[in-house]
Amino acid sequence: MSDIAWLIVFCEIAFWVVIAIGLVFRYIFRKEKLGFIFLALTPVIDLVLLTVTTFDLMNGATAGYPHAIAAVYIAVSLVFGRDMIRWFDDRFRYYVMKQGEKPGQVFGYDYAKQYAKSFIKHIIAYVIGTGLLYLIKILVHNNEQTQALDGVINVWTIVLAVDLIITLSNFIWPKKKK
């Protein structure tokens, strides 16, 4: 596995570890500011990945799948990061601290609307991620060196189309409570 691939793994682990540490400080040690500082570090992780990936490409590395996945990771983290932190925060507060209401599920059209909002965020992540991938292609200016990026863009486009179908199906056949 390449260094960039390992960095992506490290960044993903670091993302969740930093969130967990932030929540431990916030709730268990009751250090709100310190907890906030750790939670605020999540964009720094993205910045490290972006910087190292850019440096690697500027030094002549062939833009491969790890570089493409780095762009996808950065885009998804930027767009969905706050929601992921909120999701983890709600569950940590309820299951670990035994505080607040149990995180609930939504059904019917409420679920469809919630999923549609998530789909819109998926579109935003797609625009950012593919924008980064096209920027890499422009900077490298060598189609042979950036061929893997096209494959990731194509797969992500298919995933986005499937997500659209799922979004629409939630309005046609709303999720029912079991």
pLDDT tens-digit map of 86-115 = 998 999 999 999 999 999 899 999 999 999
Non-local (6+) Cβ contacts of 103 within 8 A are: 87, 90, 91, 94
Going 159 to 144 to 131 to 80, the CA torsion angle's sign is: positive
pLDDT, position 35: 92
106 phi-psi bin (left φ>0, alpha ψ -120 to 50, beta other) = beta
> 140-165, pLDDT tens digit by residue?
888 888 888 999 999 999 999 999 99
The alpha-helical segments, DSSP class H, found in the chain are: 3-23, 32-40, 42-58, 65-91, 108-140, 147-172
pLDDT, position 130: 97
Separation of CA 43 from chain center: 11
Whole-prediction pTM value?
0.84
Unique residue bearing structure tokens 């925060």: 89
Does residue 56 surpass a pLDDT of 90? no
CB 118 within 8 A of CB 92: no
173 phi-psi bin (left φ>0, alpha ψ -120 to 50, beta other) = beta
Question: Can you spell out the DSSP letters for 78-119?
Answer: HHHHHHHHHHHHHHIIIIIT--SPPPP---HHHHHHHHHHHH
CB atoms within 10 A of CB 164: 14
Separation between Cα atoms, residue 29 and residue 57, nearest integer Å: 42
Backbone phi, then psi, for 175, in 5-degree steps?
A: -65, 130
* Per-residue tokens: 160: 């986005």
